[in-house]
Each structure stands twice: as structure tokens, then as C-alpha cells.
């Protein structure tokens, strides 16, 4: 049995993966089964406490990685975690639009976010496993990732703030055409049985909560197109890539209720995120072509990432002080 857990899987001993999975299961079970056994609206104070708890767990996990795998792996984990955490602020804005469009009340939002995050854990795992497999066979794909990050970062500098048109989402249209959808919510249920108006028989129908859940997961796939290449540009160690991503996402459902109330205050953060993406993408070309394959010290990547994100948050809060949401965007 000991030999089994010491066996290598994707470049990391199996017991590391088992420990990570155990933490995720315990956190999820405690959250859903104890803290939020009953559907209720999450206040900002409770959301803040949960956010601090989840961030604390993620940082402690990073410290464990640092001690067990060395400083380089630890700094790579923290860099990936902070990038994904900052990028998730954009997710919050989109998720807020989705909940508003489908008229999902706050007391059901937390449970919908939880199931959404469970799906994200699987989908991100598949994307990261696929990316790792491709890079193992063709390292040059990393240059495509790097170029994509640079182009994406430049586009973010000049992109406008057009809101997402939830109603035109292809998934919403497809489900609406191929499934019965109830006009009203049925508590926390995603599927219900209703009476068919023509036959009088009981048939299964989707609720608006299911539509919201589907669109949220599709939106995350779009966001993952940025975040997954970004962490691969920092390290190709699958364990670091996956765990830093998932720990950042796990705390998103708690942080959502804080950020949703003040997301308009982070308008200028996108410029800092754009700079981070350009930096991470450029780092690959600098390391391989200017440093003759030598690695840029991990502390530089971590320091630049934290510095840019911190500056973006600080400048946004300072620039938008005194502005209400309806006054947004603020004038330059």
C-alpha cells in the first residue's frame, strides 16, 4: 500500500494527489453539508469570513508544497494561484449578469455556484491534462501559449466594457429548443416533473437554475482559455498547475458575494491583468531565446505578478472612491 502511494503519477507522488483530493472533498462536504445545509442568503460579513478561510487554506497548501517540493515549486504555485484569483474577478461580473438574467435569488446562488465549481474541477482537470499531454510531446506548443497570452493581454488593454448578452448564448437557445423549461424557479432543484399541457402526463423539465448553471460553466471554459495557458507558461508541472487553479476557484463561491457588490470598483484591474498576461507570455521567449534556455528566477515572476495585481487593485479602489455602481464607468 505504501509503495502504491509513493508511485509517481504525472510527475508527482500519488500521495500528494490523494492529500489534495482529500482537502477538496472535506472542504466541499463541510461547506455544503454543515455551513449551508439550508438555502439562505449569504451576507457580506459571512462571505468575507469564508473567503479569508479559503484563501488561508490555499496559502497553507502552498506553504506545504514549498516545504515538500522546494522553494521553486512553492513560488510557482503562489504565482499561479494569484493570477487565477485575479482573473476570477472577471468571472464574478459575468456570473452576476447570468444570475440577474435568470432572476436567481441570492439564497439559491451559493448552491448553484457550488455545483458549478464541482463541474469546473472536472473540466479544468481535463483541459490541464490535455495541455500537459500536448506539451510533453511538443514543447513548441508552449510558444503558441505564450504568443496567445501576449495577444490576449494587448487586446485587454483596448477592449471595451460590453456586457455579456446572456439571452443569445447558444447553450440557452439549444436547451430552450430541446427541453421543456419552467418559467419559474422550483427552489434549489435543477430538474422537476411538470404536467404536459397537451397530454396531461408528467414530464421532466429544466428550471432557470439549470440554465444558469450551464451558462456559468460555459463561461468558465471561455475564461480558462486565458488562465490555463498562463499557468502553463509559469510551470509545466501538472500538480502545480491543477492545484493552484482549483484552490483559487474553490474560494470563488465565497468571494463572489463580496465582489458582486463592488465589482464596479475593480474597473482598472483589467489593465493590470493585461500586463500580467503580457509579462508571463514574454517571459517564455526571454527565457528560451535570450537566456539560452535558462529559467527566469521564480521569485521574479511571483514578485511582478503580485506587484501588478496589487497596483491594479489599489489604483482601482482609489480611482473609483465615492462612485456608486450606477455612476460607472467613472470619467477619466
Q: Digits of tens for pLDDT over the chain (332 positions)?
A: 666 656 776 678 888 999 999 999 888 887 776 655 566 666 777 778 888 898 999 999 999 999 999 999 999 999 999 988 888 776 777 788 788 888 888 878 877 888 888 888 888 888 888 888 888 888 888 888 889 889 988 988 887 656 556 666 676 777 777 777 887 888 788 888 887 777 777 888 888 888 888 888 887 787 777 778 888 888 888 999 999 999 988 877 777 777 776 766 777 888 888 898 899 889 888 888 877 666 778 888 888 888 988 898 888 888 877 665 544 443 33
CA-closest candidate to residue 155, choices 270, 301, 312: 270
C-alpha cell, 310: 496589487
- Cβ partners under 8 Å of residue 153, min gap 6: 273, 274, 275, 276, 277, 278, 281
Helices (H) and strands (E) in the chain, counts: 12, 4
Read out DSSP for 115-160? HHHHHHHHHHHHHHHHHHHHHHH-TTHHHHHHHHHHHHHHHHHH--
CA dihedral 316, 105, 183, 173 (to 10 degrees): 30
What is the structure's pLDDT at 138? 86
CB 102 within 8 A of CB 209: yes
Give the burial class of 106: count Cβ atoms within 10 A of its Cβ; 0-12 exposed, 13-18 middle, 19 or more buried. middle
CA-closest candidate to residue 76, choices 275, 305, 308, 293: 305
- Residue 205's φ and ψ, nearest 5 degrees, are -140, 150
Classify residue 124 as left (phi > 0), alpha (psi -120 to 50) or beta: alpha
CA dihedral 112, 117, 118, 119 (to 10 degrees): 90
What is the structure's pLDDT at 332? 37
What is the structure's pLDDT at 328? 40
What is the structure's pLDDT at 169? 67
By three-state DSSP, how is residue 170 classified?
A: helix
Amino acid at each position: 500500500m505504501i509503495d502504491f502511494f509513493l508511485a509517481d503519477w504525472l510527475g508527482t507522488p500519488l500521495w500528494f494527489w490523494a492529500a489534495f483530493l482529500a482537502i477538496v472533498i472535506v472542504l466541499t462536504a463541510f461547506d455544503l453539508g454543515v455551513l449551508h445545509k439550508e438555502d439562505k442568503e449569504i451576507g457580506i460579513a459571512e462571505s468575507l469570513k469564508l473567503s479569508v478561510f479559503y484563501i488561508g487554506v490555499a496559502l497553507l497548501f502552498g506553504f506545504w508544497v514549498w516545504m515538500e517540493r522546494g522553494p521553486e515549486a512553492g513560488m510557482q504555485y503562489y504565482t499561479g494561484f494569484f493570477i487565477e484569483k485575479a482573473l476570477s474577478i472577471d468571472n464574478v461580473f459575468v456570473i452576476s449578469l447570468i444570475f440577474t438574467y435568470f432572476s436567481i435569488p441570492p439564497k439559491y446562488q451559493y448552491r448553484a455556484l457550488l455545483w458549478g465549481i464541482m463541474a469546473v474541477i472536472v473540466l479544468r482537470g481535463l483541459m490541464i491534462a490535455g495541455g500537459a499531454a500536448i506539451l510533453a510531446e511538443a514543447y513548441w506548443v508552449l510558444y503558441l501559449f505564450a504568443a496567445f497570452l501576449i495577444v490576449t493581454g494587448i487586446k485587454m488593454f483596448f477592449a471595451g466594457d460590453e456586457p455579456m448578452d446572456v439571452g443569445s448564448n447558444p447553450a440557452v437557445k439549444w436547451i430552450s429548443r430541446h427541453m421543456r423549461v419552467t418559467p419559474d424557479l422550483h427552489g434549489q432543484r435543477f430538474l422537476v416533473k411538470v404536467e404536459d399541457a397537451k397530454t396531461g402526463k408528467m414530464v421532466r423539465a429544466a428550471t432557470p437554475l439549470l440554465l444558469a448553471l450551464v451558462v456559468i460553466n460555459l463561461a468558465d471554459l471561455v475564461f480558462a482559455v486565458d488562465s490555463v495557458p498562463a499557468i502553463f507558461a509559469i510551470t509545466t508541472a501538472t500538480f502545480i498547475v491543477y492545484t493552484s487553479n482549483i484552490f483559487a476557484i474553490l474560494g470563488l463561491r465565497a468571494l463572489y458575494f463580496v465582489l458582486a457588490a463592488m465589482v464596479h470598483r475593480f474597473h482598472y484591474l483589467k489593465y493590470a491583468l493585461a500586463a500580467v498576461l503580457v509579462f508571463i507570455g514574454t517571459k517564455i521567449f526571454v527565457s528560451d531565446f535570450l537566456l539560452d534556455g535558462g529559467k527566469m528566477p521564480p521569485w521574479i515572476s511571483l514578485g511582478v505578478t503580485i506587484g501588478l495585481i496589487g497596483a491594479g487593485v489599489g489604483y482601482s479602489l482609489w480611482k473609483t472612491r465615492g462612485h456608486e455602481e450606477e455612476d460607472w464607468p467613472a470619467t477619466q
